[in-house]
């Protein structure tokens, strides 16, 4: 008995409905994760051009800003949030404009990309393809009588004990065709 067969004896196999539901749940979760990355949410600040940001500062519509690398996060006086990219590498002119307008200024370190999240996002399509391939292999395994997709050359021959033999030589002793077939089998076994 193989090790795999011994392990499978202790477990109850999943029925087809459970496998299909599980597959669809995994597919839906992966799709939700992929689409949620690109869908805007209500809590996200609105992207505005840098020129609109400067105009808002000059018109005294900006309450506070957070400078984080090239990105400027801010809050308007009406409490709406915004985000703008600073095309300049030097903040001196911008800081002077913000201080003149009485804007509260804060600064933070630039966000470092989440390595694990990026890695998982890049690997997600490949993992999804592998899961679909494995699912299809399991389906093919079930369709071929449980022998597996790549077991087409394996023999189904079984050894029978003496108590399991149903046909005796006396049953076919007088039949000429049986003698001829046995002779062909013997010839084949001598020279395959």
Burial class (CB in 10 A: 0-12, 13-18, 19+), 73: middle
Find the CATH number of the domain harbouring 57.
3.30.720.210
Residue 124 contacts residue 33 (beta carbons within 8 Å): yes
| Tens of pLDDT, residues 80-135 | 899 999 887 777 888 888 888 888 988 887 777 778 888 888 888 888 889 888 88
Q: Is residue 159 part of a domain?
A: no
For residue 145, the model assigns a pLDDT of 56
Averaged pLDDT for residues 154-168: 70
Reported pTM: 0.41
- Residue 169: pLDDT band (50, 70, 90) is low
In this prediction, residue 6 carries a pLDDT of 46
In a domain? residue 103: yes
Show Cβ contacts of residue 88 under 8 Å, excluding neighbours closer than 6 positions. Answer: 94
Whether residue 83 contacts residue 45, with contact meaning beta carbons closer than 8 Å, is answered with yes
**Alpha-carbon span 41 to 151, nearest angstrom:** 50
In a domain, 14, yes or no: no
How many domains are contained in the chain?
1
53 found inside a domain: yes
| Distance, CA of 8 to CA of 145 (rounded, Å) | 16
Split at pLDDT 50, 70, 90, the class of 1 is: very low
Give tens-digit pLDDT for 3-54.
Answer: 455 455 555 555 677 777 888 888 888 888 877 766 655 667 888 998 999 9
172 is a domain residue: no
Distance between CA atoms of residues 80 and 66, nearest Å:
14
State the pLDDT at residue 167.
72
Task: Supply 45's token pair.
Answer: 């600040």
Greater confidence (38 vs 145) lies with: 38
Q: Is 111 left (phi over 0), alpha (psi -120 to 50) or beta?
A: beta
Show the domain range for 95. 46-108
Within a domain: residue 66?
yes
Residue 56 is assigned to a structural domain of this protein: yes
């Amino acid at each position: 008995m193989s090790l795999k067969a011994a392990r499978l004896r202790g477990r109850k196999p999943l029925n087809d409905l459970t496998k299909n539901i599980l597959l669809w749940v995994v597919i839906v979760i992966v799709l939700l994760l992929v689409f949620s990355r690109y869908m805007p949410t209500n809590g996200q600040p609105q992207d505005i051009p840098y020129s609109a940001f400067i105009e808002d500062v000059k018109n005294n519509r900006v309450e506070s800003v957070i400078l984080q690398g090239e990105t400027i996060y801010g809050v308007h006086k009406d409490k709406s949030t915004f985000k703008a990219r600073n095309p300049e590498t030097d903040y001196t002119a911008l800081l002077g404009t913000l201080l003149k307008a009485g804007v509260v200024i804060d600064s933070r370190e630039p966000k470092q990309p989440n390595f694990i999240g990026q890695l998982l996002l890049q690997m997600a399509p490949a993992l999804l393809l592998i899961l679909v391939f494995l699912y299809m292999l399991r389906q093919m395994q079930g369709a071929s009588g449980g022998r597996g997709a790549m077991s087409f050359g394996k023999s189904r021959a079984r050894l029978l004990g003496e108590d399991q033999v149903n046909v005796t030589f006396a049953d076919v002793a007088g039949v000429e065709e049986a003698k001829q077939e046995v002779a062909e089998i013997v010839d084949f076994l001598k020279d395959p």
